[in-house]
Structures are given as C-alpha cells and as structure tokens.
Amino acid sequence: MRQFDDHRRFSPTAQGAVDPGLGELPEWNLADLYAAPSSQALKDDYAKAERKAAAFAKNIRESSLSLPRRMAQSSPVQLENLKTFKT
C-alpha cells in the first residue's frame, strides 16, 4: 500500500515527437530489480512469497490464541521479512 502516485501532477496527455532541442533524455534501467519478467530470480521470489505468507498466517492463527506474547514479539519481523524477501 505504498503511496507513490502524485495525484496533483496531471499533465496533459503527451503527444507528438520529442523536441530534439531537449538533448538526449535518459531512460531508466530496471535491471536493478530483476533482469527480466521471465527471470528465475523473479519466479523464485514469487514462490517464496506464497510460502512465507501462508506460514505467517498459520503462525498468527496458532500463536494468537495461545501465546499472544510470542506473536507480538515475532510477527513484525516476519511481516517485514515477507515484504522484502529477507530470509
């Protein structure tokens, strides 16, 4: 639920060719995240996320009834790891 969109910054829909007077405009390199949508690293991360989410939910269900204190201690760390794939 990251809020990154800039609601205010509507600019009129861009059209036409880029003005050559602007010089060379940079394009981003997304390879810092993944090499490609088909990359093995991405597939592995998907699988890992599913596994961890299920384990996390199970842990909550089981521990929240019996051991609230244990859950309070471990769950934020787990939730955070889940969001970032730290293992």
Partner 1 sequence: MGRIAAYATLLYTGDTTDPDRAKFYGDMQETLTRISTHLLFFGLEINRIDDGILDAALAAPELAHYRPWLMDLRKERPYQLDDKIEQLFHEKSVTGRGAFNRLFDETMAGLRFDVDGEELAVEPALNLLVSPDAETRKKGAKAISKTLGENIRTFTLITNTLAKDKEISDRWRGFDDIAASRHLANRVEPEVVNALVASVEEAYPRLSHRYYAMKAKWMGMDKLNYWDRNAPLPESDTKLIAWDNARNIVLDAYGGFAPQMADIARDFFDKKWIDAPVREGKATGAFAHPTVPSAHPYVLLNYQGKTRDVMTLAHELGHGVHQVLAAGQGPLMADTPLTLAETASVFGEMLTFRSLLEGAGDVAERKSMLAGKVEDMLNTVVRQIAFYTFERKVHTARLEGELTSEQIGELWMSVQAESLGPAITFDEGYETYWAYIPHFVHSPFYVYAYAFGDCLVNSLYAVYQETDAGFAEKYFEMLRAGGSKHHSELLAPFGLDASDPAFWQMGLKMIEGMIDELEMLDS
Site residues, partner 1 (CB under 8 A): 2-16, 18-19, 21-30, 32-34, 37, 42, 45-46, 49-50, 53-54, 56-57, 60, 64, 68-69, 71-73, 75-77, 79-80, 82-86
What is the distance of C-alpha 54 from the center of its chain? 17
Residue 64 CA to residue 46 CA, distance in Å, equals 27
Candidates 38, 33, 36, 37; CA nearest to 84 is 33
Tell me the window of 6-14, 18-26, 33-41, 64-72 that interacts with Zn ion (CB under 5 A): 6-14
Which residues are near Zn ion by CB under 5 A?
A: 6
